Amino acid sequence: MDEVWDNLTAVQPAPSGRVLIAIAVLTAVLVIWRPVWRHVRQVVTIAHEGAHGLVAALAGRRLTGIRLHSDTSGLTVSRGKPSGAGMIATLLAGYPGPALFGLAAAFLLSRGYAVALLWVLLVALVLLLLQIRNLFGLWSVLVFGTIVFAVTWWASAETQSAFAYLLTWFLLLAAPRAVAELQRSRRGGAGGNSDADQLAHLTGVPALLWVFVFTTLTVGALLLGAYLTVPALSPFISDFTTARP
């Protein structure tokens, strides 16, 4: 336990510049390339529904269960007043959730706490697992949690740091894409029960404006997260420019 605590509180250096460039390219491929995105998008759904559940609990609502589906959709059910600030906050949390989790992760990485970030993620996944109410959701969280645990427990410090950067950048970059998909489905007539439409029903504010709010929050988190983590590339850029004739 002493060794675990030492690892948890230790500061890890950022990966090398070349590794960070490779991570950035891989992150872009995961988010942009549709055949891969269809599968890894489940991570965004886990963060999305987890954000709904977290805010519902903080707002004093009774969380009754979370479902994750194979089409990467999800459902978080909570009991309480069907309107008011608590319900609005719960609905509002979903789409910005992955980006805000990514921003929090970027802050930890900027301080060098890559291993601490992975342990925090593991604890969050265990808590989420207790609220899952369907078999596919259970399977999804267990698979993702197993991968995170394996990296956290057995991988080298360099691999742990690289994996933490990959997860952070993935959440930051994937969140705006999820919002774009929301608006595309709404234009196609398939988003009538979306978070934005439910917020419009509760508040009287047009759903399109809520989509704009989601976009602003996710893009803002992406930019701020990049500001916090991209400086790790500075030594690589400096070496590259110095090496040029």
User: Is 78 strand, coil or helix?
Assistant: strand
Cα torsion through 6, 8, 10, 12, rounded to 10: 140
Q: Which of 21, 94, 109, 113 is nearest to 54 (CA)?
A: 94
Query: How is residue 155 written in tokens?
Result: 């991988």
130-181: per-residue pLDDT in tens? 999 999 999 999 999 999 999 999 999 899 999 999 999 999 999 999 999 9
- pLDDT, position 5: 67
Q: Which of 133, 130, 159, 157 is nearest to 145 (CA)?
A: 130
How many angstroms from the chain centroid is the CA of residue 206?
A: 26
Q: Which of 127, 124, 131, 132 is nearest to 148 (CA)?
A: 124
User: Is 83 strand, coil or helix?
Assistant: coil
Please state the pTM of the whole predicted model. Answer: 0.92
Cα torsion through 7, 173, 42, 183, rounded to 10: 150
* Burial of 134 from C-beta contacts in 10 A (0-12 / 13-18 / 19+): middle
183-213: per-residue pLDDT in tens? 999 887 776 789 999 999 999 999 999 999 9
